[in-house]
Amino acid sequence: MTVTVVAASCYHLRKKWIVILSQRKAARSTTALFRLLVESTVMSENADKKVIPIQPVAAGKGNDAQEVSLYEAHKKIYPRAVQGIFNNWRIALVIITQFVFYVFPWLTWNGRQAVLFDLAARKFYLFGLTFFPQDFIYLAGLLMCAALGLFLWTTIAGRLWCGYSCPQTVYTEIFLWIEQAIEGDRNKRMKLDKSPMSARKVGIKTAKHSAWILFSLWTGFTLVGFFTPIKDLLAAAQTFDFGPWETFWIFFYGGFTYLFAGFMREQVCKYMCPYARFQSVMFDADTLIISYDTQRGEPRGARKKGVDPKDAGLGDCVNCGVCVQVCPTGIDIRNGLQYECIGCAACIDACDEIMDKVGYSRGLIRYTTENALEGKYPESQMWSRLKRPRVMMYGLVLLVVLVAGTTSFVMRQPLKVDVLRDRASLVRQTDDGLLENTYSLRLMNTSEETQKLAITVSGLPGITLDGGKVEVDLKPTGNESIVVRVHVDPEQAPKGSHPIQFHIRSLDESGVNLTEKSSFIGE
């Protein structure tokens, strides 16, 4: 029965397509062909119903049809300058983050650059600490803490990282300061861009872009200064005698700083940043976000100063649009939470300033939660909502990683030892009739002080080092490979592999006491 139905359906479809294809020559466009297909399909399924044929309508010509492009043309945003407590916080964080970035490479510590990631020497200096590639576990722990901290903070208070500390936000803010200093405020910048080309306009634009380029190149120069001693870079800059990779990264990082902060700006946050896309996974109704109080503000509308909004049948929002003008991503916060919002709170400062001018109370736009805004609990109880499962889970995992990483770092020995047995000659017999194995010990001093070390061996009866005890003076942050020979009586080391241990202890006050395992080959 099923086979019969399927066969009948296939025959019906084949017949329908034959009719359509036979009419194809009469169809003058693909639109007509599409209309024939739809009409024939509807008629075959609804033979006893009236069918309304599809009539394609051309755009324009007095009708309401419009052509809509799949790709919206970029409209330049002219953020308006704003004053307020949150703007002061942004300025403070810009200063702090850029002080760390631009000043730290110039600091010295024990006669060397304080912060230097020397890839060629495989040494990474962070003030009094020295790390080697073997210490990358600490970098992994640091990245885990950063990720978990970001998740935790996003769950609690939204995108504060984006609004205050993200490099894209910080450098965009700096570029806007330069633009405002050269071109003027928002209205002057808009007027300048709309004006026809002139010598004055060319001069202003040239000055702005020159300042942007110089700042971008200095940013790229500083970045490379974390990997190549910055004083060496400065000396090379006088003759432009940089190495190939230094040249590449100065222009690469500087070029993208100029592109992202000068031109793309909010487009990076909207379309390129993955955090903007998955942030909603960490949001809930108790997350602290920037919100517009609809019940208080609506219906919005203009009014004269001193007019009671209730008498005019209006809310507190005067519909001035300043909250939109100051937004660096160009959104209207009155339309609700949007993924483009970076949480910079510029709209809060702007709205509070307007509320002060018209004599209304502040907080029409404020930091609050969705549940508090809906009246499910008073805003005074928002901080009590931190005790929810998602926050507790992120906090617990972050605490475990922090405690484990900190404990491991505190217990970190200032000495690293690798023991390699010479495989070219596994065992040989000395003139004294003893069995001898040769080992290479690689010692790495991770401290800033010289270490005096003594090396001994144990594990088999009568086992000794050639010459007795070996003593080594290891320079600060130095590496040294030494060859040691271990002797054992043949009677104590029959054929096969026997476990032994090398003991390395300090002869000074550094407190080093390490034991490394190896094996002795007998015959």
What's the pLDDT at 28? 44
* Tens digit of each residue's pLDDT (9 = 90 or more) over 450-473: 888 999 999 999 899 987 778 888
Q: Would residue 512 count as lying in a domain?
A: yes
Is it the case that residue 506 has pLDDT exceeding 90? no
φ, ψ for residue 368, nearest 5 deg:
-160, -175
Q: Which residues contact 341 (CB under 8 A, 6 or more apart)?
A: 159, 289, 290, 329, 331, 333
Assign residue 511 a region (left: φ > 0; alpha: ψ between -120 and 50; beta: otherwise). left
CA–CA dist 127, 408 (Å, integer): 19
What's the pLDDT score for residue 15? 47
Given this model, what pLDDT does residue 33 score? Answer: 47
Distance CA 381, CA 449 (A): 54
Average pLDDT over residues 405-433: 86
Query: Using alpha carbons only, what angle is made at residue 155 by residues 154 and 157, rounded to the nearest 5 degrees?
Result: 60
Residue 29 lies in a domain: yes
Say if residue 71's pLDDT is above 70: no
Confidence of residue 357 (pLDDT cuts 50, 70, 90): very high
- Is 311 a member of any domain? no
* Residue of higher predicted confidence among 433 and 55: 433
Let me know if residue 211 belongs to a domain: no
Tell me the mean pLDDT in the region 398-407.
Answer: 93
Mean pLDDT in residue range 83-104: 95
pLDDT at 48: 52
In angstroms, the Cα distances linking 313 to 300, 302, 317, 351 are 9, 11, 12, 20
pLDDT tens per residue, range 224-283: 999 999 999 999 998 888 989 999 999 999 999 999 999 999 999 888 888 888 877 888
Q: What is the CATH number of the domain that holds 480?
A: 2.60.40.10
Residues forming beta bridges with residue 191, ordered by sequence position: none
- Under 8 Å between Cβ of 283 and 155: yes
Q: Provide the pLDDT for residue 3.
A: 42
Using 50, 70 and 90 to split pLDDT, how confident is the model at 329? very high
Position 34 pLDDT exceeds 70: no
Q: Which helix (H) or strand (E) holds 516?
A: strand 513-522
Asked if the structure places residue 497 within a domain, the reply is yes
**Does some domain include residue 425?**
yes
42, 63, 84 — which closes off a domain? Answer: 63
- Omega prior to 299 cis, within 30 of 0: yes
Q: Which residue bears the tokens 């009948």?
A: 8
Which pLDDT score is estimated for 421? Answer: 86
In a domain, 191, yes or no: no
Domain stops at, among 63, 80, 105 = 63
pLDDT of residue 4: 44
Largest CA distance in the chain: 113
d(C-alpha 413, C-alpha 501), whole Å = 18
Cβ(453)–Cβ(443) under 8 Å?
yes
pLDDT, mean over the chain: 85
266-275 contacts: CB < 8 A, separation 24 or more?
A: 266/77, 266/172, 266/328, 266/329, 266/330, 266/340, 267/74, 268/168, 269/162, 269/168, 269/169, 269/329, 269/340, 269/342, 270/329, 270/340, 273/162, 273/168, 275/159, 275/162
User: What's the pLDDT score for residue 70?
Assistant: 57
In total, how many domains does the chain have? 2
Task: Report pLDDT digits (tens) over 154-169.
Answer: 999 888 899 999 999 9
Q: Where are the beta strands (DSSP E) in 243-336?
A: 289-292
Of 63, 91, 116, which one is at a domain's C-terminal end? Answer: 63
* Domain limits for position 38: 1-63
> Predicted confidence band at 291 (pLDDT cuts at 50, 70, 90)?
very high
User: pTM of the prediction?
Assistant: 0.78
| Distance in Å from the first CA to the final CA of the chain | 84
Does residue 422 lie in a domain region?
yes
Q: pLDDT by residue (tens digit) across 55-65?
A: 555 555 455 55
Token couple for 441:
């010990």
Residue whose token pair is 């599409």: 34
> SS3 of 50, please?
coil
Question: Mean of the pLDDT values across residues 312-334?
Answer: 93
